[in-house]
Amino acid sequence: MEELTFDRVGERMYRQKLENGLTVCVFPKPEFQKGYAFFATNYGGMDVRFCLNGVWTDSPAGVAHYLEHKMFDTKEGNALQDLAANGASPNAFTSTAITGYYFESTEKFEENLRILLSFVSQPWFTQESVDKERGIIGQEIGMIQDNPDWKVFTNLMAALYQYHPIRLSVAGSVESIAQITPDTLYACHKAFYDPANMVLCVAGPVEAERICQIAREILPKEAGPIAGRDYGPQEPEQAAQTLIEETMAVSTPIFQLGYKGDAPQRGEAGARQELLGELACEALLGNSTPLYARLYREGLINRNFSYGYEAVPGAAFLAAGGESKDPEAVRRAVQQKAERIVREGVDPDLWRRIKKGSYGGKVRSLNSFETLCIGQAQSFFAGSDLLDFPRLFDTIDKADVENLIARWVTPERTALSVVRPGEEESK
Amino acid sequence: MSEVTRRELMPGVWLRCIHTGKFKSAYLSVTLMAPLRAETAAENALIPAVLRQGTAEHPDLESLSAALDELYGGAIEPVVRKKGETQCVGFVASFLDDAYTLEGETVLEGAAALLGELLLRPYTQDGFFCPDYTRGEKENLIGRIRGQMNDKRRYATHRLVEEMCREEAFGVDKLGDVAHVEAITPQSLWQRYQDLLSTAQIELYYCGSAQPERVEQAMRRALEGLPQSQERLCPECEVALHAGAEPRYVEERLDVTQGKLAMGFRTGGITCWEADYPALTVLNALFGGTTMSRLFLNVREKLSLCYYASSTLEKMKGLLMVSSGIEFDKYDTARTEILAQLESIRRGEMEDWELEGTRSILINGHRSTLDDQGRLEEFWLGQSAAGLDTDIEQLVEGIRRVTREQVAAAAQKLELDTIYFLRGREG
């Protein structure tokens, strides 16, 4: 077992790759009451076309999410109820790149961990239960399609990307999920829920050896084949379209402004690009910049304004958005600011402050076991370690961020997604 | 282990310190405790929001952001809370713990100073609050008050409390009402602010790695300039022991598609100060406080009478409130079934698994509070408002000892006071 220490953030992590290929990461926290376990597969909404044992399969959009819903069913009943009766709060999510199952509990942690590992590794689907779920997920799809925040973001993805399956809605559509059968679910579980394609991250008053022992007991003994994936043709650098607009029941226009970045590399380079992307946002339009203050004063943005860097295999972008009476004016102002940064550089005093503020914010976020475990799972799938960031932070200087802004924040790489009030609302 | 101390820095000004090294951040708060009254609630609620806009030294959001960046990206948020009949207004703040700064600098002193500055040295114009800031934050507050209506589930509970406690201070909303907000001027707000500073009991809170002596020194320095006063009193909470002879029925019609049924009970004098309080918390959890409760499993899941059904407790005021979403024509059946579940608990009809499961969920919830700085602060503020020093372990001990008979006895004391039913305009 490897022991990694991260002195600057006061953390320790044990890591072990088991015989069946599963990687286990444990953060011992003897001074805490609760334990938290996150069991994830490197499989999300974008992994629709895959190859197992030489055979290519095109699965319907939304199958990873559907599978997540159905995994809680067990031969004996439902794992959610079993965990709840033990005082645990369990849940799960599916994102574009991963699917994760988790719980936290202060009592019976080991028993709960066994339940978690069992139900995620042992599929149990019947025609009846799969059909019943279709209505529930159909309602969920209807609900998110009515959600303007979801709409504006999904539209941004469709505008930025031409081929990459980041364009797909994680939940799929009512039409796509109509094709899902128990066989589809079993096939996708076999392709992606092999221990070698998964990671278990645990934080709490636990011993790493015990966690590994339990995982060995419950999970399959040997690694199976892992599916290959296809994300479509090479994406161009440019955005697929510059503007995408839609009308919905909102009281003010909402928007997402995106800039297409370079696909992240695996390992340290990708982790460093994430820090660069975050700092680029802070320097360009973050809370402490004069641009932010000006947009706020002019009523072009309000407190709902937020921004960040996002990446999945094969795609990365910067996005900023919120409510605005004139989203195009926001985009013009950001573009002008970017050009000015390219000419004159980022103000050295501002740079020093945002680097300090951003560092502190990242360290503080580690209070949360969710941040720690989910973050480590994502980093692991991307070939890096979450807690390496202080070291990488030191290697970043102002010129790196100016360079990223010069390459990414350009008229060719931008897309603007706007949801406007319909006539009914604007009366 | 963490160590809790509470000391009086000057008459009516208290500091509670949780000394622990388990978090990456230091959590601070400053709270002014005022009696909840219709005439002052809106102004009190507006004060922290206006104060957060600028100080004499940092006159706008941009310069405040810069100051926060220098303190490793700390966050300070204005808050308004209601604990019994006490309106709690002030700030909560989270900063990087001193243990994790890059060059061994300290953050605590600077953070405390900035909090003190926000509280005591606002940005003013002509000796009063800045008219622009006052106007902007009045709009935001009105938006928040009106926004409460959007969420019909919260609205129904809000209306229940308003009706049930129409002759008690508890019936006043923590944000005040729109008419009172509209009447506020920079001058009237300034007067209220001066009154608050010299009459409210002040509760300071710190959770982090610094020794209490050092925190005390930093806080004393930060509060230099606070008016000396002998009149700082913690507001009292009036407890009505019994409901009227017959439950009062209030019906309201709005343009809604789903009905909301809310029921308010008096707890017959069981409050957080009484010996049978632990039994009341188990009763509430078992009746409607968890996903394995009677209301959830029977009324919602088994009989499908409600879209949701749950209950909550107000521990100082001695209220138990049921909240549910139903079809308009299910009013009688839902009401009857909710009361039937309560009757069965009154008769002592509780399965072992439900009693133990409920106990386990309650204990898990309490224990995990110890791991979350925000929830821990909220817990201790509630204790301060109630004048209690009982800690979480003592609460857990109390819950462990509760017997089936005590739960039944607590249920027998509940008296239905008011029923509120929100229905559509038609039918």
Residues A192-246: tens digit of each pLDDT: 999 999 999 999 999 999 999 999 999 999 998 889 999 999 999 999 999 999 9
A295 to chain B: which residues are within 8 Å by CB?
none
A31 to chain B: which residues are within 8 Å by CB?
1, 20-22
Check if the beta carbon of residue A184 is closer than 8 Å to that of residue A63: yes
Residues B222-237: tens digit of each pLDDT: 999 999 998 898 899 9
Q: What is the pLDDT of residue B427?
A: 59
Q: What is the pLDDT of residue A423?
A: 67
Alpha-carbon gap, residue A103 to A80, rounded angstroms: 10
| Chain B residues with a Cβ under 8 Å from any Cβ in chain A | 1, 20-25, 60-62, 65-66, 68-74, 94-96, 99-100, 102, 290-292, 353, 357, 360-361, 363-364, 367-368, 370-371, 373
Q: What is the pLDDT of residue B400?
A: 97
- Strand arrangement, sheet containing A11-17: A2-6, A11-17, A23-28, A198-204, A35-41, A99-105, A89-94
Alpha-carbon gap, residue A28 to B161, rounded angstroms: 45
Average pLDDT in the B388-402 region? 96
Rg (C-alpha) for chain B, rounded Å, is 23
Q: With 80 as the cut, is the pLDDT of residue B151 above it? A: no
What percentage of chain A exceeds 70 in pLDDT?
A: 99
* ipTM score: 0.85
Higher-pLDDT residue of B281 and B152 is B281
Q: With 60 as the cut, is the pLDDT of residue A424 above it? A: no
CB contact under 8 A, B20 and A31: yes
Average pLDDT in the A398-413 region? 98
Structure tokens, B17: 């310190």
Q: What is the pLDDT of residue B327?
A: 86
Contacts of A1 (CB under 8 A, 6+ apart): A14, A15, A16, A208, A209, A212
Q: In the Cβ-directed half-sphere of A194, how many Cα atoms lie within 13 Å?
A: 17
Residues A260-307: tens digit of each pLDDT: 999 999 999 999 999 999 999 999 999 889 999 899 888 899 878 999
Quickly list DSSP for A330-388.
HHHHHHHHHHHHHHH---HHHHHHHHHHHHHHHHHHTTSHHHHHHHHHHHHHTTS-GGG
| A364 in contact with B, Cβ within 8 Å | yes
Q: What is the pLDDT of residue A427?
A: 38
Alpha carbon of A368 to those of A103, A190, B302: distances in Å? 13, 32, 36
Higher-pLDDT residue of B257 and B218 is B218
CB contact under 8 A, B102 and A104: no
Range list of H helices, A75-202: 79-85, 109-121, 127-145, 148-160, 174-177, 182-192
What angle separates helix B404-413 from helix B277-284, to the nearest 10 degrees? 90
Element (DSSP H or E) covering residue A249: none
Contacts of A329 (CB under 8 A, 6+ apart): A300
State which amino acid sits at residue A151.
K
Alpha-carbon gap, residue A111 to A107, rounded angstroms: 9
Report the catalytic residues of A: 68
Q: What is the pLDDT of residue B146?
A: 83
| A298 in contact with B, Cβ within 8 Å | no
Alpha-carbon gap, residue A46 to A405, rounded angstroms: 27
Angstroms from A306 CA to nearest CA on chain B: 15
- Average pLDDT for chain B: 94
Q: With 80 as the cut, is the pLDDT of residue B147 above it? A: no
Q: What is the pLDDT of residue B2?
A: 78
3-state DSSP helix/strand/coil % of chain A, to nearest 5: 45, 20, 30
CB contact under 8 A, A367 and B21: no
Residues B12-28: tens digit of each pLDDT: 999 999 999 999 999 99
Higher-pLDDT residue of B175 and B298 is B175
Nearest-Cα residue of chain A relative to residue B393 = A33
Check if the beta carbon of residue A176 is closer than 8 Å to that of residue A62: yes
Higher-pLDDT residue of A422 and A365 is A365
Alpha-carbon gap, residue B322 to B290, rounded angstroms: 13
Check if the beta carbon of residue B233 is closer than 8 Å to that of residue B201: yes
Alpha carbon of B106 to those of A354, A357, B19: distances in Å? 18, 14, 16
Residues A345-386: tens digit of each pLDDT: 999 999 999 999 999 999 999 999 999 999 999 999 999 999
Alpha-carbon gap, residue A199 to A213, rounded angstroms: 15
Confidence class of residue A132 from pLDDT cuts 50, 70 and 90? confident
Alpha-carbon gap, residue A311 to A360, rounded angstroms: 22
Alpha-carbon gap, residue A404 to A342, rounded angstroms: 10
Confidence class of residue A425 from pLDDT cuts 50, 70 and 90? very low
Q: With 60 as the cut, is the pLDDT of residue A53 above it? A: yes
Quickly list DSSP for B208-260.
ESS-HHHHHHHHHHHTTTPPP-S--BPPP--------SS-EEEEEE-S-SSEE
What values do phi and psi take at A61, rounded to 5? -60, 135
Q: What is the pLDDT of residue A304?
A: 83
State which amino acid sits at residue A3.
E
Quickly list DSSP for B116-144.
HHHHH-B-EETTEE-HHHHHHHHHHHHHH
Q: With 70 as the cut, is the pLDDT of residue A426 above it? A: no
Residues A133-147: tens digit of each pLDDT: 898 888 888 878 888
Angstroms from A233 CA to nearest CA on chain B: 41
